[in-house]
Amino acid sequence: MISEALLAAVACPVCLEAGGCGACGRQGGHGATCTEYTARAGCACGGPDKVRLVRDGSVLACPCCRARYAIEAAGWVDLVPRASVGALTQYADHEFHERLHVTEAEPVLSARVKADMMRRMLGAAPGETVLDLGCGAGKMALHAAVGGRRAAGLDVAPFFLPRATREVDLVLGDLRRLPFRKGTFPRAYSLDVLEHLDEPGVREVLLEARRTLGPRGRLFVYTHAMESSRLALFQRLVNRLARRLGRAGLIDHEREAMRKSDHVNAIRSHEHFEELCAGAGLAVAERRYYNVVFKAVVEDLGLRLFEQWRRRPSPSPQSSPASGAAPATGVAAARASPALLAVARALTWLLKLDVVLFGGVRTGPFFGLLVPRERA
């Protein structure tokens, strides 16, 4: 979906307006105002705003750098910077994305735990627009829009779910150069994204989010620092067992390993994360840790055993390839069953105990609510 409200809020991802404080103020054309992007955007005053784009038929034009950005008929706006601003995650690869088997079904299990923590900590009101930073296919943005809220999503890869293109404002862009004017979104979140970036990239994403949220905004993140608690030993034992079962062909361990294969893990500790936030003008207002005990047994082990069992060849002629009926495979097929969906919802409540019982035990994975430092 491309709403008029979104088109009114987008800006050139790389061009900054003239003006600013004594430290970041510049006058002149593109060469004078935009070549020092990092220094000007990161100024203690908040930096200048980005240059508003001008609509010209099916494109958006920047009056500063003269770049032209397409409004795609498929349902999104292409605002990717024309010059690279850093390495891209392998999630931008089409084949890699297809192998993740993302569906439009509601999030369940650990994905629902993260989604519910996001909605609780952000506290978005009906009518507010929530921005998904690194939205992937748009699955979580669809969930964020429930309850009278609106959702917008930004990702560097255009592999959006069909329903997301109809119901969510989607932008193709780079998190390190968000193409929005200041204060465009009062609420934003980032799930499983920051661990894919190096330290400069994390700094830039936090800085861009702070500018886009405005002085009263809230940012929710789920990521992890390179720490672990004693409880994490249990998860490592479960993962070791899962790898052995994978080698034996009893579960599909490849997809989870693939999902984490390009993690950079630049956040060394929670204190390091607080330093990164402070450099971007943000402060951690609330934090809960995610020690996975029930999740490790139910999702990392039990669900994968069940999925592999469902993928087994069926001797029944009704479900054989020769009969013309495709056998059910993977989570997408399982979610199509109301009974299995009901079981998954029930197990989700069990997984929430990981946060209820162990959310105060310091470990690497965490949920964090970030606010501008002047509000903290």
The more confident residue out of 256 and 209 is: 209
280's tokens: 């971007």
Q: Which residue has the tokens 């080698």?
A: 247
Mean pLDDT of 8-12: 94
- For residue 50, the one-letter residue type is K
Give the pLDDT confidence score for residue 316 in this predicted structure.
53
The pLDDT > 70 percentage for the chain reads 87
Strongest mean pLDDT among 118-132, 242-256, 314-328? 118-132
Residue 166 near residue 238, CB atoms below 8 Å? no
Query: Rounded CA gap, 367 and 187, in Å?
Result: 15
Q: What is the pLDDT of residues 220-251, one digit of tens each?
A: 999 999 999 999 999 899 888 888 888 888 78
Residue 56 near residue 226, CB atoms below 8 Å? no
Give the pLDDT confidence score for residue 91 in this predicted structure.
61
Give the pLDDT confidence score for residue 247 in this predicted structure.
83
Q: Which residues make Cβ contacts (< 8 Å) with residue 90, sequence separation at least 6?
A: 96, 261, 262
Give the pLDDT confidence score for residue 95 in this predicted structure.
54
Classified as helix, coil or strand, 174 is coil
Lowest mean pLDDT among 186-190, 206-210, 259-263, 349-353: 259-263
Mean pLDDT of 13-39: 91
Classified as helix, coil or strand, 332 is helix
Q: What is the pLDDT of residues 55-108, one digit of tens each?
A: 998 899 999 999 999 999 888 999 999 888 877 766 655 555 555 667 788 899
Helices (H), 227-318: 232-247, 254-259, 270-279, 294-295, 304-311
